[in-house]
Structure 1
Amino acid sequence: MRHGEGTQVWKRAGAVYEGEWRQNVRDGYGMLSKLQPSTNEYVKVYSGTWRNDKKGGFGTRFYSSSVRYEGEWVENERSGWGRMTYENGDVYEGEWLKDKPHGQGVLWLVNENRYEGSWKDGKKHGHGRFFYTDRGQLYEGFWVDDVPRCGTVCDYDRKNAHTPPMHPIPPVMLQDVQSVLIEGCSRFCASRED
């Protein structure tokens, strides 16, 4: 029975685990590596804590040389707080549930635009702000399934934008802009519940 520190080699699967064991299962801190057939070398796949033979607690999953997730795990799924770096250079940092961004988080796009706000099942959903840094504009409002549905767009940093629009957004001449936006968003949300 494996118990305590040890190394397990699975030759058929081409995998090696080095770390802690409890009652014959991976439990505690450990590192899993897999054989890369092209180089015939072992590459680190996961380094972190295990609970009852599954990723659980804090750990880093290496998907490729540039793609990685560093954060919390529950039963082999990204759940809790974490940071994911994607192949194209985008980075998401925030809450996860069942392997998807879910809750509050920030997505930095490689073009320097970013979204800050609510997520549901891997999509922008709920209140959020999208900074169009490339053109110096900001959208703030509600999102549904990755689509902005009810909000405002304003200029916020046109002078530093890479490709600003030719003309600035004109000022809103309403007496109480915030009340109008809140009422519009409330109506939108109410219509979604019907």
Structure 2
Amino acid sequence: MPFVKYPRSIEPPWKDWDKKAQKSGLRHTVYSVNGDQYTGEWLNNQKHGKGTFVWKSTNSIYEGEWKSGKRSGFGTYSVQDPNTKEYVKVYSGCWKKDKKHGYGTYFYADKEYYEGDWEAGQRSGWGRMYFANGDIYEGEWREDKYCGQGMLRLANENRYEGSWEGGKKQGPGKFYYLDKGQMYEGIWVEDIPKCGSMVDFGRAEAPCPTKYPIPEVKVADPESVLEAARTTFLEKKKMLIALLKS
């Protein structure tokens, strides 16, 4: 058979262009097709190190650290005010894989913000939430809700201290009605007090005390009676939960 000489394979031009386009180290502004832009450091063709990203569609900006193409480390996310055209800070803190993770501060409104721990983009851990109406919650969080031990102080200084679950009062806790000079201590279920006692607390300093003081409980051992009631209530609750799960 005659020898046939095939032409040597030539690498297409786009592969050479792609090699030259691989980005590493510090680069000037790189524009995306949709108008987004990034200025900063790269590694293996991914945003890595310190850099600034601007989203054209939302007029928002991120300035901070990156890892393997995602926001990771410390950084600040801001949006542009449509009226003043100035950038307003929304979140400043730690990130991991493009989500808020670690300690950081998030601004929901001018006078409403959260400072504390985050996990996978949600408030989780310890944190303090300042509400626009003057209320303040300080304590534990899980999946964006009050969960664990915490204190909710209302704008009128009344406050609840105790256990929370799913954003609601759940378990043992105390509610101080400082405006009336009273304090309730007991067990709560989904924000509703179920078993407890009310006593006068700072009645002389209260701005709006009740007309008559709470009479003294005439029981030889009121603490034992209350504790027994609490125990009975919690045992019934456990039995009900077990029954529902079975």
Q: TM-score, normalised by structure 1?
A: 0.98
Partner residue, 2:225: 180
The amino acid of 2:142's aligned partner reads: L
Partner residue, 1:47: 92
Work out the CA distance in 2 between the residues paired with 1:165 and 1:177. 23
Aligned residue runs from structure 1 range 106-185, under 5 A: 106-185=151-230
Q: TM-score, normalised by structure 2?
A: 0.77
Q: Secondary structure at the match of 2:227?
A: helix
Structure 2 residue corresponding to 1:56, chosen from 79, 101, 120: 101
Q: Secondary structure at the match of 2:155?
A: coil
More helix by share: 2
Partner residue, 1:87: 132
RCO higher in structure (CA 8 A, sep ≥6): 1
The amino acid of 1:32's aligned partner reads: Y
Q: CA deviation at 1:28?
A: 0.4
Using the TM superposition, name which of 1-10 and 132-141 deviates more: 1-10
CA RMSD across the alignment? 0.9
Structure 1 residue corresponding to 2:142, chosen from 70, 93, 97: 97
Q: CA deviation at 1:63?
A: 0.5
Residues 146-172 of structure 1 show CA distances to partners (whole Å, capped at 9, x for unaligned) of 011100100010000010011111111
Question: How many positions carry a matched residue from both structures?
Answer: 194
Q: Secondary structure at the match of 1:3?
A: strand
Tell me, which stretches of 5 or more residues in structure 2 are unaligned?
Answer: 1-45, 241-246
Residues 25-75 of structure 1 show CA distances to partners (whole Å, capped at 9, x for unaligned) of 100000000122233221100000001111000000000110000000000
Q: CA deviation at 1:190?
A: 2.4
